[in-house]
Structure 1
Amino acid sequence: MTPADDTEAASGRPSHGDLTGWATDDLDAALGAFLHNPEGLLSAAARAAPDGRRFFETHFTPDASVAGHFTGYYEPEIRASRTRTDDFPVPIHADPPGGIALPRDGIDAHLAGYEIAWLRDEVDRFFLQVQGSGRLIFEDGTTLRVGHSAKNGHPYVSIGLLLIERGIFGADITADALKDWLRADPERGRAVMAENPSYVLFRVVDLSDATGPMGTLCPVTPMRSVAVDPAHVALGTPVWIEVEGHARLCIAQDTGSAIKGPGRADLYHGSGDTAGHAAGRLNARGTLTPLRPR
C-alpha cells in the first residue's frame, strides 16, 4: 500500500489495494493508452511519468465501484471494392450535406453519389455500422480505414435482443451465430436488420496501421480502451474493470449507441477476426471502478 493509499483507507474510501489484480496489472500499457487522450486531458505529470504504476497511484484514487454489464467490440477487417460489382453490391455512405433522417429500410436510394466503398452483403454493412469503424481490404491488397461520421437520427434497436425475446436465440447469443442466421435466409435477414432503423454514415480516417481506430475521444488501444456512457463516466477517465478473467486498468475513450447507464462498458479487443471472435463472446456482468484525480 502506498502512503496515499494509507490516507484513503483512513478516510474510508477504497484504495488501489482493494482492486483485485491491481498489483500485477501492466500499468505501463494503461499509461500508453492514457497518453492518447487529447492534450486538454493530459498533465505534465502524465507526459513525464517514469512508469504507469507510479503515475496512477500518485495521481488517481479509486472511486466507488459499480456493478455493470460488459460487452466487447473490435475493428472488423472487411473485404470491399471501390466500385459496385456483382460480388460487392452493398454500399457504405458518407454523410450528405445537411444529413439524412430516413430510417435504414430504403435509405440507399437517397444516398446515391455518397458511396465510399462497396461490401459483399448487408450483413457486413450492418456489423460494420454496429462496430462504428473498420478496415476495408480491397482485392489489390490496399486498405482504407473508415470511422463513424454521423447517424440518421433514428434510435438504435438491438436485433440480438429482439431475437432473444422471440425465442430464436438464448441469452448466450454470439455475433458469429447471429451473422450465420441472418445470412441463412437473406430476405428474412434484411427484414430483421430493418427493425433497427438506425443507420451509420462513415468518413475516411487517416490513421497509420500502428494506431488503433478512432474512438469518440482519440484512437483506441486493444484491451485498454473502453466505451462508456459519458453521462456517468467522463471520457478520458481511467477505469478499473473486473469481468470474466479481465482485471485491468482501461481508459474511457469511446461511446456507443447501446452503451447506456453507469455500469455499462464495451471493451475494445483489437482488429481482425480473432479480436472479433473474442469480442463477440464477451457478454457478462462485472464491476467498473472509475479512478478520480486526487
Structure 2
Amino acid sequence: MIRRLGAAILLSFMSTGPAVPTEIETHYSILGFEDLEGWADDDHAAALSVFKNTCADLDEPDWSSLCAVAFDASDARQFFELFFRPLLITDGQDPLFTGYFEPELDGSPVRTDRFRHPVYRIPPEALEARPWLTRREILTSDVMQGRGLEIAWVDDPVELFFLQVQGSGRIRYPDGRVIRVGYGGANGHNYRSIGQELVRRGVYQAHQVSAQVIRNWVRRNPVEGQELLFHNKSYVFFREVSQVPSNQGPLGAMNRSITPMRTIAVDPAFIPLGAPVWIEKAGKDPLNRLMIAQDTGSAIKGAQRADIFVGTGDEAGGIAGRIKDPGRMVVLMPIQRAYAYLPEDLQ
C-alpha cells in the first residue's frame, strides 16, 4: 500500500525488535509516561480499540500475550502504562509528520468518452520481472490492452496518479455505486517525487509545493504535466477490496481496516507494525495522541518519520495535504523488548 506510496514493506521482526540497517547510527532511550506531553489527556480507550484491531497479527509471544490481555482490559490507560515502556528511537534524521487520506474518484465500470483512464490490476509478468516497465512504457504502449486488466475507468488522470500515491481509494459510479480499491502491486521502480522535480526545475520553491499545487499545475499545463507525471517511473496497480464495509477505513499494510486519526504509517525497519506509538506533532495544529502503527509507505523512511491517516474524501485530503510538521514520536514496546534495545550496561 502506498499509502500509502507503496506501503507494503516487511512484516517480520526479531524477538528483540525489527532489524535496523547497519549503516544507520540508531539511538534508543527509555522514557517515562510522565515524559509524554499530553499523555494524561488522551482518549486511551480509543487507542486501545484500534490496537485490538490488529494486535492478533503480532505473533511473537510477548505481543500475543499483551493482545490477549488487551481484550480483558477495563482501564485502557492502566493497560498501556502497566505493560509497555516508551522507547524513543532516533537515527539522526529530523522528525517529520505528514498526512494521507483515502481519495474518492468519479468513475465507471466501462470506458466512456468521459471515463477513459483505466485503473489496472497487475499483470502476471510484472510480478516476475523486477523492475518491470516504467510508467511511461505502461501508459504509452499497448502492453495492457485487450487483457481484461481494467478494474474501472476514471475521468481524471491527475486524480488517478494521486490515487496511486495514496495506495487505496474509492471510485463512485454514475449510478451511485461505490467500489473500493487497494494496493495490488507495483512495477518495481523507485518512487520519484514530482513535487521535488517542480522545485528542481525552478517552477516552485519547496515551501510552496503541495498536492493541490501539483494538481493545478498539471491541469494548466497538460503536455508538460504529462511529462512531469512520467518523471515518476513507479506505477501502482490495484485490486478491488469492496468487501471492506463502507463504514470502515481502507486496508493498511496489515490487511486490516485503518482508523482516521488513530492510524499512522511508519518505517517497519524501526517500528513493528501493530505497535502503539505516541506522537507529539508540532506546527499550526499540534497533536499529542496515541496512535497505532498499522501502515507503511515507500516515502516513509526513518525512525522519526510518520504519515497520519486523516480519513476519506476531499475534506480529509485537504487536511492531509497541509500536514508537514516537526515533532517527536515514541513507540510503546513490551517491557522486556524495550529494555533489550539498550546497551547491556544500561539494562
Shorter chain as normaliser: what TM range?
Answer: over 0.9
**Alignment-derived partner of residue 281 in structure 1:** 322
Structure 2 CA distance, aligned partners of 1:32 and 1:175? 32
Q: Render the CA deviation track for 1:78-132: whole Å, top value 9, x for unaligned.
A: 1111111111111010112232611000303312220111111210110000000
Structure 1 CA distance, aligned partners of 2:153 and 2:226? 17
Q: Is the 8 A contact 1:150 1:201 kept in 2?
A: yes
Is the counterpart of residue 34 in structure 1 residue 51 in structure 2? yes
Tell me which of 301, 305, 312 is aligned to 1:271.
Answer: 312
Distance 1:216 1:72, change over 3 A: same
Structure 1 residue 38, shift from structure 2 partner: 4.9
Q: Indicate the larger mover: 201-210 or 92-101.
A: 92-101
Structure 1 residue 52, shift from structure 2 partner: 2.1
Distance 1:252 1:261, change over 3 A: same
Tell me which of 169, 190, 211 is aligned to 2:204.
Answer: 169
Say which SS state the counterpart of residue 191 (structure 2) adopts: coil
Is the counterpart of residue 110 in structure 1 residue 148 in structure 2? no
**Alignment-derived partner of residue 213 in structure 1:** 250
Tell me which of 255, 267, 273 is aligned to 2:296.
Answer: 255
Tell me which of 223, 226, 247 is aligned to 1:190.
Answer: 226
Structure 1 residue 275, shift from structure 2 partner: 0.5
Unaligned runs of 5+ in 2: 1-28, 59-63, 336-347
Q: TM-score, normalised by structure 1?
A: 0.92
Say which SS state the counterpart of residue 63 (structure 1) adopts: strand
Structure 1 residue 171, shift from structure 2 partner: 2.4
Structure 2 CA distance, aligned partners of 1:287 and 1:117? 40
Is the counterpart of residue 137 in structure 1 residue 161 in structure 2? no
Say which SS state the counterpart of residue 165 (structure 2) adopts: helix
Structure 1 residue 65, shift from structure 2 partner: 5.1
Q: Indicate the larger mover: 253-262 or 147-156.
A: 253-262
Say which SS state the counterpart of residue 133 (structure 2) adopts: coil
Q: Indicate the larger mover: 51-60 or 263-272.
A: 51-60
Tell me which of 38, 46, 67 is aligned to 1:21.
Answer: 38
Q: Is the 8 A contact 1:240 1:248 kept in 2?
A: yes
Tell me which of 88, 108, 118 is aligned to 2:115.
Answer: 88
Structure 2 CA distance, aligned partners of 1:20 and 1:239? 13
Q: Render the CA deviation track for 1:168-221: whole Å, top value 9, x for unaligned.
A: 222232211111111111111110000000000000112001211000012111
Structure 1 CA distance, aligned partners of 2:75 and 2:168? 31
**Alignment-derived partner of residue 97 in structure 1:** 124
Distance 1:142 1:51, change over 3 A: farther
Structure 1 CA distance, aligned partners of 2:290 and 2:89? 13
Structure 1 residue 227, shift from structure 2 partner: 0.6
**Alignment-derived partner of residue 12 in structure 2:** none
Say which SS state the counterpart of residue 54 (structure 2) adopts: coil
**Alignment-derived partner of residue 214 in structure 2:** 178
- The amino acid of 1:239's aligned partner reads V
Q: Indicate the larger mover: 58-67 or 183-192.
A: 58-67
Structure 2 CA distance, aligned partners of 1:231 and 1:64? 14
Q: Is the 8 A contact 2:117 2:155 kept in 1?
A: yes
Structure 1 residue 240, shift from structure 2 partner: 0.8
**Alignment-derived partner of residue 158 in structure 2:** 123
Q: Indicate the larger mover: 50-59 or 229-238.
A: 50-59
- The amino acid of 2:227's aligned partner reads A
Tell me which of 47, 56, 61 is aligned to 2:85.
Answer: 61
Say which SS state the counterpart of residue 35 (structure 1) adopts: helix
- The amino acid of 2:333's aligned partner reads R
Structure 1 CA distance, aligned partners of 2:329 and 2:120? 35
Structure 1 CA distance, aligned partners of 2:105 and 2:167? 13
Q: Is the 8 A contact 2:89 2:303 kept in 1?
A: no
Alignment RMSD, CA only? 1.4
Q: TM-score, normalised by structure 2?
A: 0.79
Structure 1 CA distance, aligned partners of 2:246 and 2:275? 25
Q: Is the 8 A contact 1:65 1:287 kept in 2?
A: no
Q: Is the 8 A contact 1:76 1:134 kept in 2?
A: yes
Structure 2 CA distance, aligned partners of 1:179 and 1:30? 34
Q: Is the 8 A contact 2:102 2:166 kept in 1?
A: yes
How many positions carry a matched residue from both structures?
283
